[in-house]
Amino acid sequence: MQQIIVDREVPCELRDGVKLYANFYRPSDEGTYPVLLCRLPYNKNLPDFSHRYVDPFRIAMSGYIVIIQDVRGRFASEGEFRPFAQEVEDGYDVVEWAAALPHSNGKVGMFGLSYYGFTQIYGTLEQPPSLKAIFPAMTGNVTGDAFNQNGVFQFASSETWILDSVAMDFLKRKQSEEQYAETVKEIVHDLNHIEEWYNYKPIQEWPPVMKHPELRDLFQKYINNQLLDEVRDNPYNHEQALNMPAFHLAGWYDNFLNQTILNYEEMSKLNDNQKLIIGPWAHGMFHSDIGERSFGIYSSGYAINGIEDITSLHIKWFDRWLKDQESSILDTEDPVYIFTMGTNTWRSESAWPIPDTQYTPFYLHSDGEAHHTSGSLSTEIPGEEKVDAFVYDPHNPVPTNGGGVLFYNGKNAGPRDQSVIEERDDVLIYTSEPMKEPLEVTGWIKANIWASSDAPDTDFTVKLVDVAPDGKAYNLADGIVRAKWRNGSEEAAPLAGEIVEYELDLWATSNVFLPGHAIRIEVSSSNYPWYDVNPNTGETIMTTDKMVTADQVIYHDSEHPSSITLPVIPKSE
């Protein structure tokens, strides 16, 4: 059996003299090997992070040098931590350093999930010549906005990340030993009460951060997108930088689902050597039970269709691009491999979106009574129908119940029964007739909702739900839009009571609505604390705690045909 040598705290000196430290896993045999590099801000010495979903020992035993490195300003590494922005230049330097190491054959690949995915995408931008392939998992898009959806801030995940993932090591570097001992107690206390802290407004004055002066500047830059903008505003040649083989890993209930799929779509235009796998997974969670549903053993990332696991996918992918070994991955040469919920099956596809997808509008209909909370959904275009209305009170927002969320310790992620949510007066539900035949919906989803409000600004939300014969209503996808940004993000446009058509991006899913199941959408104005509530004043809770109610009206008639467009996959003949 191949023996593995582990070298700890190996230094890498960057162009500015800062030293970063890494752990090496390498074969004991003499010779040269490709390098697989993972760069993270969460402590390379903690197995929950360094071994989070891939096994570096198995990879090393397959003939690789695996390097897991603390990024600048984190744990053993020197320097000041500037999230995201620092990873462009540092990524180039570390890749070229790794290529020149003893035992390296000069070829480097990168892998990692979430922030470690950002280090890959951003690490391509200066085009390090030794970087030959990447495996970005559940991560952001280099030109996209990872923490906003249609102008609405995903604040719960941002507050969680700063407090849980960043604060302690960041403050340890800046405080005396005695002061830091008290700081740890405060942070632990606040994490234990983080669900209460989510309710604090305004966000920019959030006490769990603002009580630590050394953390304030980083927090302000993070919540105002200044860290990402440092990269997005720089004129890198994306077409050249992203022209490389990449294996993209996503989850139907991951908070970076849309960004990861966009990475696949955009890089496929630049380089044919792309793969995409999407499982029924949440962020960094690859078990067969997600949320309140179980999808079967073979849905797990540790037994994918009984053929592979995530580590073996990495080995085969990098064997192809760093060792020139042609091997079939998941027994297919198709670029796309997806898990379809409902039937709970894996399959490969030749492209994404799926060829021959029939984008089918399902229209909202009233039950004949104005101000109802329950209506119908069908492919029939509406005629003359009464409006539906509800009162949106930001003091009592619709609580987040599942979805592609990122809360503390993974709480609340995945599919969950929406029945209690649907009992609220501020949630309108529209339900189709039960399916007589299976109906597959796989791909991008959008909703077009015609609405008016008496507020100068407000939000609208749409959630896609699979209703089982027993009444259980499991969420599949959701979206939100902020009214004042309806004409684009350059200039806010206050409302004046007019009827507006809002287009909402619900990202994507793959689900078969089985016979007896029904399609449902929920329409409301909040999804809290996943998204910040709209105070209905024209301001945001980023800067104010003043909030007022709004009277919302939803239209669905021949002139205002509110709908959700589903990517229906035709049945095979």
Closest CA to 523 of 560, 492, 552: 552
For 301-352, the three-class secondary structure string (H helix, E strand, C coil) is: CCCECCCECHHHHHHHHHHHHHCCCCCCECCECCCEEEEEECCCEEEEECCC
Closest CA to 525 of 365, 391, 373: 391
> Which stretches of 340-499 are DSSP H helices?
none
Q: Per the structure block, which two tokens stand in for 374?
A: 């329950």
Question: Is the Cβ–Cβ distance between 478 and 149 less than 8 Å?
Answer: no
Catalytic residues: 114, 254, 283
* Distance of alpha carbon 309 from alpha carbon 298, whole angstroms: 10
* Distance of alpha carbon 456 from alpha carbon 538, whole angstroms: 6
* Distance of alpha carbon 102 from alpha carbon 92, whole angstroms: 18
Intra-chain end-to-end CA distance of the chain, in Å? 50
* Distance of alpha carbon 159 from alpha carbon 402, whole angstroms: 18
> Which stretches of 163-212 are DSSP H helices?
167-172, 177-192, 194-197, 207-210
Per-residue b or e along 455-478, where b marks 16 or more CB atoms closer than 10 Å to that residue's CB: bbbbbbbbbbbbbeeeebbbbbbb
Sign of CA dihedral 183, 542, 114, 132: negative
